[in-house]
Amino acid sequence: MKLYQIAHSRAGDKGNISTLSLIPYDPKDYEHLCEKVTVERVKEHLKDIVSGEIVRYEMSNISSLLFVCQNALLTGVTTSLAIDTHGKALSYALLEMQIEP
Amino acid sequence: MKQTIRIGCGAGFSGDRLEPAVILAEQGNLDYLVLECLAERTIALAQKRKRADATKGYDPLLERRIEHLLPILVKNNVCLITNMGAANPIEGAKKILEIAQKQGVRVKVAAVIGDELSEKLKEMSDEIFTFNNEDFAINLIKNHSSHNPPFSPLISANAYMGVEGILEALKTEAQIIITGRVADPSLFLAPMIHEFGWATDDYNLLGQGTVVGHLLECAGQITGGYFADPITKPVTNMDTLGHPFADVFADGSAIIGKVEDTGGVVNLATVKEQLLYEVVNPYAYLTPDVSANFTTVQLEEIAENQVKVWGGTGHEKPPTLKVSVGYQAGFLGEGEISYAGHNALARAQLAGDTLEKRLKADFPDLRTDYVGVSAIHRTDFERQIEPYEVRLRLASNADTAQKAALIGEEVEALYTNGPAGGGGARKYVTELVGIVSVLVDRKNVIPEIVLF
């Protein structure tokens, strides 16, 4: 199945960093996401977008994951050549990832 | 000392809608209204306006926002805190007084200054530190210090200040406090410290207060804006989306809500999305006031459109402050053209390939986008759906406006030299203002207030 079937996400930008949250609709799916949505998987999935390191934070207090992606915004909002300079639409790229149910 | 205060947020960026703030001030039963209108680049653009005219450089919508709000703020005794001063809080304050005079109301205004380091920064080059390994920023400043030729690409340098200046202004009982560059959550944290008498080294309280400020600072982003998705994340009446307020208690806990009968929704999902928005390290969310820890935050939906927030913690504030440095970054040239119907994508690709051959040598960083296919994610993740219509977009940087214009001109020339059925060509040239960040020692930034 695709991530968007069980989780939602919001993208944020700080300089050339894109932050992507991953929040299960049902907190019961949090452990499953922790197991399946690894940094390696996300790196492979977003290879056309993110060229830097990715750090994953597990926030069990709100049953959510946060992916902090370096070098994701073509230098950042002010000088990027992309249409979506902020990378606001990148949350939906993450949600396209296939995972095992 | 009060036991609870209500703080609303009626703008999350410079161009935000006007009426949600009016509704908050009119019906929200607020103690404080915050308007957060200053993105990283906004202040550099404001500095350019100030250079052209010394009486400008505050937020371009300041007049319109204040004209609508002022009578209501005075009538309902709401204190306004805003960073609409941008590059020129003093002139912003004078403009507010001018509007007050026209409307025949008396209002005390305080301007908070001290964030601007533009000239000072060049002299400080030995005391500037890298932020997030951005060496480019340091080199830019050092290569263009005051010993260099008169031309400099540097436009501005503004430090992120914390609560100090706003706290001074609150003591004077000013009803409107207008600042330049202040960390967004500090706009909200200052009234909490002021009303509850928190110590500025009680880092757990400041951390939790910063969590509340961070949740409110993007206004509609916690009430269903930048959130809605039909079916999976339904949001009703987005045309009248209400902006949020928080009832903050003396222990820092808060209940996020919105004005009744406004559109939108506040629930666990909207609050979680906003809590993690733009967070680079949830264990150490750095502001000039505190290093806040978001990993201890607790959330509970206590009623419809009411989410309780508590448990945020913090550690000692960082010894340095972040400075946004604006610089001339050349020009962006763009051109667009559309293809539709049978073979639309193939014709768009033929057009793209043709122009890459013509432009690549002079524009090595040329970017070619197929809008409707792969422009936004650079891939369609193997969906491979044949689009009915495609818009081709080309973009590149250039040192001069003249050179940047070539991109759009070449796209337009596809009308008569390119594939069949190309229509709706558009061309754009944009002057680019880049922003880089550096760190400076706190001692170089001294907040001051000016009363009007």
Question: Dihedral through CA B208, CA B214, CA B220, CA B223, nearest 10?
Answer: -30
Interface test with A, best of B272, B310, B363 (most A CBs within 10 A): B272
Chain A residues inside the 8 Å CB shell of B435: 76-78
The mean pLDDT value for B124-128 works out to 81
Chain A residues inside the 8 Å CB shell of B367: 81-82
Interface of B with A in 89-148 (CB under 8 A): 132, 134
Q: Are A88 and A11 in contact (CB under 8 A)?
A: yes
Bridge partners, residue B244, by sequence: B258
A48: nearest CB among B276, B311, B379? B379
Domains defined along chain B, listed by start: 4-115+160-318 (no CATH), 120-158+319-444 (3.30.70.1150)
Interface test with A, best of B371, B377, B391 (most A CBs within 10 A): B377
* Average of per-residue pLDDT values in chain B: 95
Count CA atoms closer than 13 A to B367's CA, side-chain side.
21
Per CATH, the number for A3-96 is 3.30.70
pLDDT in tens, B200-259: 999 999 999 999 999 999 999 999 999 999 999 999 999 999 999 999 999 999 999 999
pLDDT in tens, B340-370: 999 999 999 999 999 999 999 999 999 999 9
Q: Are B43 and B86 in contact (CB under 8 A)?
A: yes
Where is pLDDT greater, at B153 or B261? B261
pLDDT > 70 fraction of chain B, expressed in percent and rounded: 98
Candidates B121, B176, B165, B152; CA nearest to B51 is B152
Give the model's pLDDT for residue B148: 46
What share of residues in chain B are helix, strand, coil (percent, to 5)?
Answer: 35, 30, 35
Contact check, Cβ <8 Å, A12/B376? no
pLDDT band, very low/low/confident/very high, at B296 (cuts 50, 70, 90): very high
Contact check, Cβ <8 Å, B232/A4? yes
Structure tokens given for A57: 């934070």
The mean pLDDT value for B26-54 works out to 94
B382 has pLDDT over 70: yes
pLDDT band, very low/low/confident/very high, at B153 (cuts 50, 70, 90): confident
pLDDT band, very low/low/confident/very high, at B116 (cuts 50, 70, 90): very high
pLDDT in tens, A5-19: 999 999 999 999 999
Q: Which of B33-42, B131-140, B288-297 has the lowest mean pLDDT?
A: B131-140
Structure tokens given for B238: 């987005």
Give the model's pLDDT for residue B11: 98
B367: nearest CB among A64, A76, A81? A81
Interface of B with A in 216-275 (CB under 8 A): 226-227, 229, 232-233, 269, 272-275
pLDDT band, very low/low/confident/very high, at B125 (cuts 50, 70, 90): confident
Candidates B180, B175, B177; CA nearest to B157 is B180
pLDDT in tens, B182-211: 999 999 999 999 999 999 999 999 999 999
Tokens 């902020």 sit at which residue? Answer: A86
Give the model's pLDDT for residue B133: 74
The mean pLDDT value for B122-126 works out to 77
Question: How many angstroms separate the CA of residue A58 from the nearest CA in chain B?
Answer: 9
Interface test with B, best of A67, A83, A94, A97 (most B CBs within 10 A): A83
Chain A residues inside the 8 Å CB shell of B40: 77-78
A22: left (phi over 0), alpha (psi -120 to 50) or beta: beta
Query: CA nearest A65 in B: which residue?
Result: B276
d(CA A41, CA B376): 20
d(CA B416, CA B425): 12
Give the model's pLDDT for residue B152: 67
> Judging by beta carbons within 10 Å of its beta carbon (0-12, 13-18, 19+), is residue B387 exposed, middle or buried?
middle
Query: Where are the extended beta strands (E) located within B188-317?
Result: 244-249, 254-258, 285-286, 291-293, 298-303, 306-310, 313-315
Give the model's pLDDT for residue B151: 55
Contact check, Cβ <8 Å, A17/B276? no
B147 has pLDDT over 50: no
pLDDT band, very low/low/confident/very high, at B392 (cuts 50, 70, 90): very high
Candidates B295, B107, B110; CA nearest to B194 is B110
Report angle CA B370, B376, B381 to the nearest 5 degrees.
90
Helices (H) and strands (E) in chain B — how many of each?
13, 19
B269: nearest CB among A8, A13, A78? A8
Average pLDDT per consecutive 10 residues, chain A (101 residues; last block may be shorter): 98 96 98 98 98 98 98 93 97 98 91
Bridge partners, residue B179, by sequence: B112
B282: nearest CB among A66, A81, A89? A66
Chain A residues inside the 8 Å CB shell of B134: 15
The mean pLDDT value for B298-325 works out to 97
Contact check, Cβ <8 Å, B229/A8? yes
Give the model's pLDDT for residue A96: 98
pLDDT in tens, B55-88: 999 999 999 999 999 999 999 999 999 999 999 9
Question: How many angstroms separate the CA of residue A40 from the nearest CA in chain B?
Answer: 17
Contact check, Cβ <8 Å, B272/A64? yes
The mean pLDDT value for B256-277 works out to 98
